[in-house]
Amino acid sequence: MSAGRGITITPIRVGELAAVRMPIHVYCIDHPDGRILVDTGFTELHPAVADMQPNIHPLNRQDFDLGVVRMVMNTHLHFDHCGGNHLFPDVPLYVQRQELEDARAQPDYTVPEWVDPPNRPLRYVTVEGDQELLPGILAVSTPGHTRGSQAIVVDAHDGLVVIAGDAAVWSGELDDPKTEGQRRIVSLRPKRVWLSHQTEPWTPG
C-alpha cells in the first residue's frame, strides 16, 4: 500500500448528539484518483434517535460538493454514520459484508430506511476483511463496536493515518486497547487516528 503524496484528509463536523455531548464527524479524503467520503452523518431527525437530542448540519446543507465524491466508505451502519448514504445513489458504498448483514437483520441496530432507502436502491459493495480500495487506501476489519466495523487506513505523506469510526468513542481508549479492533489499530503504529466523536486525533504517546 503506497501513495503518500497528494492525499489529504479533512474532518467535517455534521452534527452533535447533545444528550451525550458528542460531536459527529465525517472525513473527506482527497486522493489523486478522486474524492472519498468516510461516513455520511445524517440529514433528518427520526423518532428512533430522538433521545440522543441530535443537532444536525448535513453535508447537503454545507459548502460541500456532493457531485465529486467518487466513493463512500462506511465504518459501520449505525444511524449517525449512514444517514446520509441516500445522498450518493450513484456512488459505490464500501462496507464490511458482516456489517451490512447485521444492519439488515437485527432489530434496533440502526434506522433501516437509512441503510436501504425505499424506492432508491444504493450501490453497496461488500468488503471481506482487509482490502486495498485505492492505492494508499486500505479498509481494515476492526470488530468491537460492531462485528462488522472497519477502519480506513491512509498512507499519508507523513505516515499511516487511520479513520476509525467508533472503534474507540474517546481517544483514551486507544491508550489501553481492549477490543480486537482497538488492538488492531494500535498495532498499525499510526501517526494519528481520527475518531467520529472526537475533535482532535489520537496520537501515540
Mean pLDDT, the chain, integer: 95
**Predicted local distance difference test score (pLDDT) of residue 146:** 98
Q: Could you say which DSSP state residue 83 is in?
A: B
Closest CA to 162 of 139, 204, 190, 198: 190
* Across 117-133, average pLDDT: 96
Residue with the bigger pLDDT between 80 and 51: it is: 80
The answer for residues whose C-beta is within 8 angstroms of residue 139's C-beta and 6 or more apart is 73, 94, 96, 127, 130, 131, 132, 133, 150, 151, 152, 153
Model confidence pLDDT, tens digit, residues 64-79: 999 999 999 999 999 9
The domain defined by 8-194 carries CATH number 2.40.50.140:
no
What pLDDT does residue 54 have? 87
Average pLDDT over residues 3-19: 87
Place of cell 489501553: 176
Q: Residue 168 — pLDDT band, cuts 50, 70, 90? A: very high
| pLDDT of residue 161 exceeding 90 | yes
